[in-house]
Amino acid sequence: MTGLGPVARPCCHEGPQLGEVREATLAMGPQPRYGGRRAARNARRGCGRPVRHACAGACVIALAVAAGLAAAPGAEGWVQRAQAQQAPRVSITVAAVTQAEAASRTRLQIQVGPQDAIAKNSFVRIRGLPPAVALSEGHSIAPGAWAIPLVALPNLTIILPVGQQGPSEVAISLVSIEGTVLAEARTTLVVTAAAPRAGDAAAGSAPRAPVPVPKLTQEQRERALGLHAKGLEKLERGDVYAARKFFELAGEIGLAQSAVAAAGTYDPDELAKLRVIGLQPDTQAARKWYERARELGAVEAAERLRRLGSR
């Protein structure tokens, strides 16, 4: 066409924006020769700007997100949780089988560690003991269940009455002050009949006749254990007087551990451990119930009688 400069044909590399510029140039009619070239050059420059701006914007967003994650309130918690997972876990070590004889004391070796992993104010809970079995440390929280402070573990022994035999599965747990189980282990307590002592025969002394232990029927035993459990419940609540009455009823039926517990509510030393205020000790009543407990086969009764005699 006359008056128009040469019009370049669309190239296969031209984008949609450059094609639109060329169409607009043709529609406007004759333009100076440099006008079409300048428009094309400006169109090419415009094609690259959105891409460069988008790349720069994406980089800014990525940096902002990274900075936000690093400064987020939960970022410190992630680090703490990762460190906690790497910290040593507490564990309980106990023999798989604990051998014991009736009418004796047996050492129960329990190790808890490492020390720096143990939660403050945690304690050891032992469950699954025979109801007539007692422990030298801690206190009973239910029939066959005891709570033991960690400082008392080195001196912990099992007190077995006369006539106790058979295996028992015992669960040992480390429990936090909130009641969370932190670690757990198990041992099988195997109690055998007391072996005859050869020392008395070698010394020429006549063997002592075994103390007859009354046999309780199943109904009597269940009733006595129920009374003993109520006594423990009252004792946990600090009502020593009410607990004493339940222990005495169970001790009269023939439950050895209840007779020991009843004596403890009169014993000055045991009352001092309970930190009871307003309840006076009675050594005569304590001796009476310790004697009853010894008749029922309680091993610890003799030791407590000797302690009372020294007062």
156's enclosing H/E stretch is none
| C-alpha of 67 from chain center | 38
Residue 247 lies in a domain: yes
Residues 187 and 106 grouped into a single domain: yes
pLDDT tens, position by position, 175-230? 998 889 999 999 999 998 876 655 444 444 444 444 555 678 889 988 998 898 89
Does residue 127 have a pLDDT over 90?
yes
Token pair 């091993």 in the structure block, residue: 299
Residue 87 lies in a domain: no
Q: What is the CATH number of the domain that holds 241?
A: 1.25.40.10
219 or 32, which is more confident? 219
Residues 285 and 238 grouped into a single domain: yes
Residue 229: strand, helix, or coil: helix
Does residue 142 have a pLDDT over 90?
no
Residue type, 160: L
Residues 252 and 172 grouped into a single domain: no
Residue 137 lies in a domain: yes
Average pLDDT along the chain: 75
179 or 162, which is more confident? 179
Contact criterion met (CB below 8 Å) for 134 and 223: no
- Tokens matching residue 95: 């023999």
Residue 142 lies in a domain: yes
Residue 148 lies in a domain: yes
Does residue 80 have a pLDDT over 90?
no
Q: What's the pLDDT at 8?
A: 46
Does residue 109 have a pLDDT over 60?
yes
Residues 189 and 229 grouped into a single domain: no
Q: What angle do CA 257, 239, 120 make, to 5 degrees?
A: 80
Residues 121 and 152 grouped into a single domain: yes
Mean pLDDT of 15-25: 48
Residue 281 lies in a domain: yes
Counting Cα atoms < 13 Å in the Cβ hemisphere of 98 gives 25
Which of 32, 67, 102 delimits the end of a domain? Answer: 67
Residue 139: strand, helix, or coil: strand
Which of 48, 67, 86 delimits the end of a domain? Answer: 67
Beta bridge partners of 198: none
35 or 38, which is more confident? 38
Does residue 1 have a pLDDT over 50?
no
Does residue 311 have a pLDDT over 60?
yes
Residues 167 and 131 grouped into a single domain: yes
Does residue 7 have a pLDDT over 70?
no
- pLDDT band for 165, please (50, 70, 90 cuts): confident
Residues 262 and 187 grouped into a single domain: no
3's enclosing H/E stretch is none
Can you state the angle between helices 73-86 and 33-71, rounded to 10 degrees?
Answer: 50
Q: What is the CATH number of the domain that holds 146?
A: 2.60.40.10
Contact criterion met (CB below 8 Å) for 82 and 65: no
Residue 275 lies in a domain: yes
Residues 184 and 99 grouped into a single domain: yes
Does residue 43 have a pLDDT over 80?
no
Return the closest-CA partner of residue 172 out of 89, 232, 219, 109: 109
Which of 130, 162, 194 delimits the end of a domain? Answer: 194
Residues 112 and 177 grouped into a single domain: yes
Q: What's the pLDDT at 235?
A: 83
DSSP 40-106: HHHHHHHHHHHHHHHHHHHHHHHHHHHHHHHHSHHHHHHHHHHHHHHSPPPEEEE-SEEEEETTEEE
Contact criterion met (CB below 8 Å) for 124 and 216: no
Residues 119 and 157 grouped into a single domain: yes
| C-alpha of 232 from chain center | 23
Residues 190 and 226 grouped into a single domain: no
Q: What's the pLDDT at 307?
A: 87
Does residue 310 have a pLDDT over 50?
yes
Q: Where are the alpha helices (DSSP H) in 101-142?
A: none
Confidence (pTM): 0.48
Residue 147: strand, helix, or coil: strand
32 or 180, which is more confident? 180
Range of the domain at 50: 16-67
pLDDT tens, position by position, 239-253? 888 999 999 999 999
Q: What's the pLDDT at 68?
A: 54
Contact criterion met (CB below 8 Å) for 308 and 275: no
Q: What's the pLDDT at 161?
A: 73
Does residue 98 have a pLDDT over 80?
yes
Residue type, 193: A
Mean pLDDT of 56-79: 52
- Tokens matching residue 233: 């419940």
Return the closest-CA partner of residue 303 out of 98, 29, 105, 88: 105
Q: What's the pLDDT at 29?
A: 52
Distance CA 134, CA 159 (A): 5
Does residue 79 have a pLDDT over 90?
no
> Which span out of 2-6, 58-62, 118-122 was modeled with the highest average pLDDT?
118-122
Residue 42 lies in a domain: yes
How many distinct structural domains can be found in the chain?
Answer: 3
Does residue 45 have a pLDDT over 50?
yes
281 or 79, which is more confident? 281
